[in-house]
Structure 1
Amino acid sequence: MPQTYLDGAVAYPAEFAQKYREKGYWIGQNLSEFLHEATEKYADNIAIYCAEQKITYRQFNSAVDCCVASLYQRGLRSGDKAVVQLPNHHAFYIIFFALIRLGALPIMSLPAHRFSEVNSFFQQTEANAYFCADFGTQKFDYRALARQCQQSNPSLKQVFVLGETAEFDSISALYTLEIQDNPVQPIVSQASTADQVAFLQLSGGSTGIPKLISRTHDDYLYSVRESAKICELNQYSKLLMVLPAAHNFSMSSAGALGIFYSGGAVVLGTDPSPETSFTLIRKHQVTDACLVPALVRPWMDKAACDQDDILSSLHCLQVGGARLADVVANRLIDEFNVNLQQVFGMAEGLVNYTRFGMHKDQIIHTQGLKISEDDEILVLDEDDQPVAQGEVGHLLTRGPYTIRGYYKAEEHNARSFTPDGFYRTGDLVRILEDGCIVVEGRSKEQINRGGEKIATEEVEQALITHPQVQLVSLVAMPDDVLGEKSCAFVSWQAQQDDPSEIRRGLNLRQYLKDYGLAHYKIPDRVEFIQHFPYTAFGKIDKKTLVKQL
């Protein structure tokens, strides 16, 4: 039986924890101490650019102390849990570190999540606080979502809103960015020790609702420190952040935490369009940016149309979240003179990077090398036997920053982790002779829509609740920009005055929106079908369906 922490988080076995400490991977520092150390080293450096605001490390740390005191006054205590669903705004980082410094447990949520996902986080954790914006993109009202969650979860006592608060508390009122003559006396630190859980990150949701991932201070900060070194960040680095701030890629690969470790600055952008992003790159002399593959094509098209060499001005353009097509990687290097770094990783742990100075073919055709010599990697066949080097197989891993089990998910953990602690990633990979990893796809049934993972089962289960849907199957269809889009094949029970196929498709999309699915999970295409093809095992034959597209 795996060792567990209080409240359902799986711990590292004692012998592995001892080894990781002896090797200097785990240094006993928690995230609160991490920010204090950065402030001591880089007090007057700019830590965050947000709209027209420039926030120094000294202001940042002081605002966190102020926020801790305010949250304490409002009744939050060590051991409490809070769902954090905020846009790319400096408040995200202040709230994140304040909760950790208070000893509360942040639960990451992405802006695209809706009731289906957010409500599940409250149900899994019994969180008693929720931090959100007033409105998001597409004019979505998170305050209405908060009300829904309160009705379904008696544990949710406090809601804090960034912007127009309605009946809720104001996030902006929790802190000030001004340095006071008489600074707020910080609450005695209740932050958990470095070997304890720091926060809950999200999985890609391969079985529907995202599973919760318990990351400890020790394991997460090891990956942050090493990633910052691999990415060659320093106090002059400026990282453009247009991906959601709460995403694991955005936080730690090397992400905002890697920047804070190095004394550089995060430049927050709320719009990933090339028009907005290029303006920010010029304005702040950005050195680094991270994108998912779906955003790369629009950036290249804009730069080519304007005959703009802005991409070559970057120290590094990172691409991760999904495999970057070789032809696109080649164009970035040859046509745009980009210093490209491919990133392949997962919120559960293992991260691989192409290194600066690698041969061009390695950067284009592989996803690089693992962080640590103690990242143990197995590539196995269907019978859990090792494949020959260079052959495709299922990726399993364990190491000093890879979890040993999901939060409160014993049944799922029995399937996703081997008895000796290897995580079954669901990825199909090859390992080359030079150690580089090449990602060949997913073994789990999942659609990768521009880096956003869609579990087919979750969408199918939502669609089947519609009274006129008799049978449904969601499949992936190729897309030049996003890599994959989703198509729902639907067997429809017609009624009198039934609308046309187009109308039915639009109605189903609205139905799923009202159901509470995130917008990226709503099928891009709907095909109505009378008879489904089946395999010899009596299952819907999805390969045959894909051929009909």
Structure 2
Amino acid sequence: MSTRTPLAIDGVVRWPDDTAAAYRDAGYWQDRSIQSFIAAQVEIRPDDPAVIDGDVRMTYRELWDASTSCARGLLDHGLAPGDRILLQLPNCWQFGALTIACFRTGVIPVMALPAHRRTELTHLARLAEARALVIAATDRSTDLRVVAQQVAEDATTIESIFVLGELSAGLPDSATPEFALAECIATVPGAKREPFEPAGQDIACLLLSGGTTGLPKLIVRTHDDYAYNIRKCNEVTEIDSDTVYLASVPISHNFALACPGILGTWVAGGRVVLLPSPAPERSLQTIDAERVTVTAAVPAVAQSWIEHQREHHTLKGSSLRVLQVGGSRMPDELAARVQPVLGATLQQVFGMAEGLINMTRLDDPTGTIETTQGRPVSDADEIAIVDELGDPVPDGSPGRLLTRGPYTPRGYFRAAEHNARAFTPDGWYGSGDIVIRRPDGNLVVAGRDKDMINRGGEKISAEEVENFAYQLTGVEMAAAVAMPDPVLGERLCLYLTVADGHTVTLADVADLMQTAGVARFKIPERLVLVDQMPTTKVGKIDKKAMREDIRARLERELSST
């Protein structure tokens, strides 16, 4: 525990002093660093397995020793508490060792995604004023060492590049120096830990906003709030020392990092299994081979696993206890297939790297699990659901979600202009989500505020239309978006991917919805069949790209007449 004053870093929006004191008094914040929870597990179970990455199997002591060496390497290269390091690695044990090392030294990791390239990395490096960049040598056909040099040229604060894999050959003298990450984390058993101990309000890491517009913003997560986030997610997901957690979605993303993710598993003394991607065949084989009990996926990945299991019956055992699904709303029809096909309890997760996490409980009724996105993991999470004027709406009515609480920061990093739009003066964060709160407190996600189609004043929930589409045989993925209309402002367009051998028409969708008694204005007026849905870098369906696509289609049609 550290009681010293947090490191002073400009651009950080702190909780008000009285609010912070109340969170401490209530025990939400413990003035305790994240790595201290992991260190406790190292003492309890030094020889228990902590991480499995392909052929590499590391105990808690070995992972801790690797982080010790890595911490010393960071300091030897001139990094100091409060400095930022841009971290872009695939799912690998080195990511874990380096992240723990950052916590232990006070160096702040900026969690870039594996898919990021020069534009995004340069933006993040400049915004964070990063002094170092950590990359894999290559990513599929891309030489990331070349990209890193470009980023270092664009962002002049970068002084060092750490490479997982082979270093570049024949760098010019003007290049930013490269260092082998492997040399920094060469294990030195028994090496002393660094003397720095973070204060609770020190920054643990900077996460990325998950929006689909513009370049990502940086989200400040402190040791106090992120440790509380982890502990509450562990509690609701029932993570303990017997947990075997498979991480196949990017672990630099909040979902697989700390909800409960790899950090939650290590805080509880469980075992982390890493895969580079969530490809269904290998993922299901690994679940069987490693006796995985908990894993996380976005809806598209969950669907691919369900379809693969139906066809190939890869899962033979019954170890999988919980499948968390989040990142975007899971269609009710798909949610109903998880337990019958995969044998696991579905846990719907609706949350954001900006804080608030909602989860269905493992003992909730089946109907609640399959049709809602859960309720807050903490009783201290405050939620308001309001209309366009900011007035509260009654339960059962859609409205904009506002939230604040002990793990929802009060502002983005160095983003005063955006903070003025996203946060109210008294600290409520507007997530941009449209939700409906049921009388039992569970939330149903009705879409994003820009996902609500406004057809001549009639509001249509994209999620509602998509759920009907999933009831049609052969529909694999569905996305409803607004298309511009000169009279009504917006009309409804439905994008579908359809399985081979099946045909779906606009009339099929209309007939289904009319039979169900849906208001006519909610029935799609155009159908676009695509081979694959566009997705964002974190695997969410990219509705911004679809809105641009339908706009372009309409313009082409107009110009040809």
State whether structure 2 residue 98 is matched by structure 1 residue 95: yes
* Distance of 2:418 and 2:249 partners within structure 1: 29
Given candidates 65, 88, 101, the residue that maps to 1:85 is: 88
Give yes or no for contact 1:239–1:289 (8 Å, CA) kept in 2: yes
Shift of 1:351: 0.3
Tell me which residue corresponds to 2:370: 364
Shift of 1:185: 3.0
Shift of 1:223: 1.1
Which runs of no fewer than 5 residues in structure 2 stay unpaired?
1-5, 172-177, 453-461, 464-475, 483-491, 500-533
Within a 5 Å distance, the mapping from 1:229-378 to structure 2 comes to 229-310=235-316, 312-378=318-384
Within a 5 Å distance, the mapping from 1:495-514 to structure 2 comes to none
State whether structure 2 residue 45 is matched by structure 1 residue 42: yes
State whether structure 2 residue 185 is matched by structure 1 residue 170: no
One-letter identity of the residue aligned with 1:184 = A
Give yes or no for contact 1:240–1:288 (8 Å, CA) kept in 2: yes
Question: CA distance change for structure 1 residues 232 and 6 in 2, over 3 Å: closer, same or farther?
Answer: same
Q: Secondary structure at the match of 1:8?
A: coil
* Distance of 2:65 and 2:538 partners within structure 1: 38
Give yes or no for contact 1:4–1:10 (8 Å, CA) kept in 2: no
One-letter identity of the residue aligned with 1:147 = Q
* Distance of 1:35 and 1:390 partners within structure 2: 42
Question: CA distance change for structure 1 residues 59 and 416 in 2, over 3 Å: closer, same or farther?
Answer: same
Given candidates 192, 198, 202, the residue that maps to 1:185 is: 192
Shift of 1:236: 1.4
Given candidates 12, 16, 31, the residue that maps to 1:13 is: 16
More off after superposition, 229-238 vs 517-526: 517-526
Instruction: Count the aligned residue pairs.
Output: 478
Question: CA distance change for structure 1 residues 64 and 309 in 2, over 3 Å: closer, same or farther?
Answer: closer
One-letter identity of the residue aligned with 1:478 = Y
Give yes or no for contact 1:113–1:518 (8 Å, CA) kept in 2: no
More off after superposition, 217-226 vs 277-286: 277-286
Within a 5 Å distance, the mapping from 1:523-538 to structure 2 comes to 532=555
After superposition, the C-alpha distances for 1:65-124 in whole angstroms (9 at most, x for unaligned) are 111112222222222110000000001011111122111111010001111111101111
Given candidates 200, 219, 222, the residue that maps to 1:213 is: 219
* Distance of 1:348 and 1:270 partners within structure 2: 25
Instruction: State, as a whole percentage, how many aligned pairs show the same letter.
Output: 36
Give yes or no for contact 1:290–1:318 (8 Å, CA) kept in 2: yes
Tell me which residue corresponds to 1:160: 162
One-letter identity of the residue aligned with 2:270 = G
Within a 5 Å distance, the mapping from 1:377-526 to structure 2 comes to 377-444=383-450, 478-480=495-497
Give yes or no for contact 2:9–2:82 (8 Å, CA) kept in 1: no
Tell me which residue corresponds to 2:119: 116
Q: Secondary structure at the match of 2:337?
A: helix
Give yes or no for contact 2:232–2:377 (8 Å, CA) kept in 1: yes
After superposition, the C-alpha distances for 1:135-184 in whole angstroms (9 at most, x for unaligned) are 113x222111111111112111100000112152111111224x63xx33
Question: CA distance change for structure 1 residues 309 and 73 in 2, over 3 Å: closer, same or farther?
Answer: closer
Tell me which residue corresponds to 1:222: 228
* Distance of 1:529 and 1:317 partners within structure 2: 38
One-letter identity of the residue aligned with 2:194 = I
After superposition, the C-alpha distances for 1:437-459 in whole angstroms (9 at most, x for unaligned) are 110000147999x99x9xx9xxx
Normalised by the length of structure 1, the TM-score is 0.81
Give yes or no for contact 1:297–1:481 (8 Å, CA) kept in 2: no
Tell me which residue corresponds to 1:75: 78
* Distance of 1:389 and 1:519 partners within structure 2: 28
Give yes or no for contact 1:240–1:267 (8 Å, CA) kept in 2: yes
Question: CA distance change for structure 1 residues 227 and 526 in 2, over 3 Å: closer, same or farther?
Answer: closer
Give yes or no for contact 1:233–1:262 (8 Å, CA) kept in 2: yes
Which runs of no fewer than 5 residues in structure 1 stay unpaired?
457-474, 483-508, 510-515, 534-543
Shift of 1:310: 4.5
Question: CA distance change for structure 1 residues 395 and 477 in 2, over 3 Å: closer, same or farther?
Answer: same
* Distance of 1:378 and 1:279 partners within structure 2: 43
* Distance of 1:71 and 1:301 partners within structure 2: 45
Given candidates 27, 30, 33, the residue that maps to 1:24 is: 27
Give yes or no for contact 1:311–1:336 (8 Å, CA) kept in 2: no
Shift of 1:35: 2.3
After superposition, the C-alpha distances for 1:288-338 in whole angstroms (9 at most, x for unaligned) are 111000111211111111245548531111111111110011122344433
Shift of 1:34: 2.5
Give yes or no for contact 1:114–1:517 (8 Å, CA) kept in 2: no
Question: CA distance change for structure 1 residues 431 and 312 in 2, over 3 Å: closer, same or farther?
Answer: farther
Given candidates 86, 96, 105, the residue that maps to 2:108 is: 105
Question: CA distance change for structure 1 residues 30 and 523 in 2, over 3 Å: closer, same or farther?
Answer: same
Shift of 1:130: 0.2
* Distance of 2:545 and 2:317 partners within structure 1: 33
Question: CA distance change for structure 1 residues 310 and 109 in 2, over 3 Å: closer, same or farther?
Answer: farther
Give yes or no for contact 1:394–1:426 (8 Å, CA) kept in 2: yes
One-letter identity of the residue aligned with 2:111 = M
Q: Secondary structure at the match of 1:118?
A: helix
After superposition, the C-alpha distances for 1:257-304 in whole angstroms (9 at most, x for unaligned) are 110111001100013111111221122111111100011121111111
After superposition, the C-alpha distances for 1:234-267 in whole angstroms (9 at most, x for unaligned) are 1111111100010000011111111011100110
Alignment RMSD (CA, Å): 3.3
